[in-house]
Structures are given as structure tokens and as C-alpha cells.
Amino acid sequence: MQMKIVGLTGGIGSGKTTVANMFRELGVPIYIADVEAKNLMHSSKVVKRKLITLFGDKAYINGDLNKPHISSKIFSDQSYLDRMNAIVHPKVAQHFKSWLKKQTTAYIIKEAAIIFEHNMQSQYDYIITVTANHEERIRRILSRDKTTKDKVLTIMKHQWSDEVKIKLSDFVIVNDRLEDTKEQVLKVHNVLLKEVNNSKF
């Protein structure tokens, strides 16, 4: 039986990681691309060197990524984000391949915010999009991050709308109330297990 790769995506503040953790509780291995990207920004000498070239000597302070400096650069010029992604994403892809070889379950989940924006949907067997109420998403981000509503809205503006993502997805999980979300996660999990078991290899 060939293991399936399931993409988990959604706009900022939709609660992708919350949903991912619910799948993890069901025994599904989870790969969170953003977390691994941050790890590589600290551990990879090649990535660090390229980021310093891109963002300048202030990119790191005492070996730690200077997030306010990088965020301000990206906020003033979105092209910095594309150039940073071009440095980090290939390394994350390599790391994911190595991680994937160690997994033995029917399917795994890779959480990534920009599957559709970067036209990467062909890398997945199925895609789940997590959605949530617009105002609730903003509230979550403001309570989680040191940021402003304007910055949050700017990020949202550069991400695809839920409506577009939903049309391209195999499953949708509405993450407004945790109890409802858990029920949806279990339902999707059972459908995926059935799909995998019914696949012809």
C-alpha cells in the first residue's frame, strides 16, 4: 500500500496547526512546513549565509533570526518574501523527502500555508483547506503575534481567498468552534483511510 500525501492549508489565522494537532491525536504523522523552515533558518549555514546576503547583517542577532527586521523589510517590499522563499523552500522540500521515508502510516499530513499560491497542489494526493470567520481570524492573530491589524490585513490580501482555495480542495474544515472542528477532522480522517484502503496499487 502506497502512503498518501495530504496537504493541509488555509489562510493566516484559520487554525491550521490546531487542526493538524487534532489529526496528530488520531495517529497521523504531521509535517509543519513553517516550523521546519524556521528550524532550517537557524541550523543551516547555507540558508543563514544567503539570508544575510538578502537582508543584510541585521538578519541575525547573536545567531538568532531578527524577525522584526525581516518583517519590516518584507512589509515595505513584498519581493523580499519571494526571494526569501526561494532560499528556504528548496531546503524544506529536501528535509520533507527525508522525513517522509521514515513514515509508515496510510497517509501523512503536510501543513503548508501557500500550496495554491505557489502552484504546488500537484505534490499532494489530497488537499484539506481550513477556513474560519474573517473577524475571528484577525482576533486570533492579534492575540498570538506582536503585530497590527493593518499588517494582518496586508498578509491576508496577498493570500488567496477561501472561496478560491475551497474550489481546488478535496476537503474543507470550518474551524470556528473546536468541538465542531474535531467532528469534521474525524470524518475526514475516516474518509481518507477508506480512500487509501480502496485504492488500487
- Specify the pLDDT at position 76: 84
pTM of the model: 0.88
What are the φ/ψ torsions at residue 96 (nearest 5 degrees)? -60, -45
- Nearest residue to 40 via CA among 65, 70, 14, 5: 65
Quick: pLDDT tens for 59-117: 999 989 999 999 889 878 889 988 999 999 999 999 999 999 999 999 999 999 889 98
Vertex 24, ends 160 and 152: CA angle to 5°?
Answer: 30
User: Closest by alpha carbon to 128, among 115, 144, 140?
Assistant: 115
Q: What is the pLDDT of residue 50?
A: 97
- Cα(42)–Cα(109) distance, integer angstroms: 24
pLDDT of residue 74: 87
At 117 the pLDDT is 85
DSSP assignments along 69-92, one per residue:
HHHHHHHH-THHHHHHHHHHHHHH
pLDDT on residue 1:
59
Query: In which residue are the cell numbers 480522517 written?
Result: 189
**Intervals of the chain under pLDDT 70:** 1, 200-201
Domains of the chain, each with CATH number or no CATH: 1-29+107-195 (3.40.50.300), 35-102 (3.40.50.300)
CB 26 within 8 A of CB 193: no
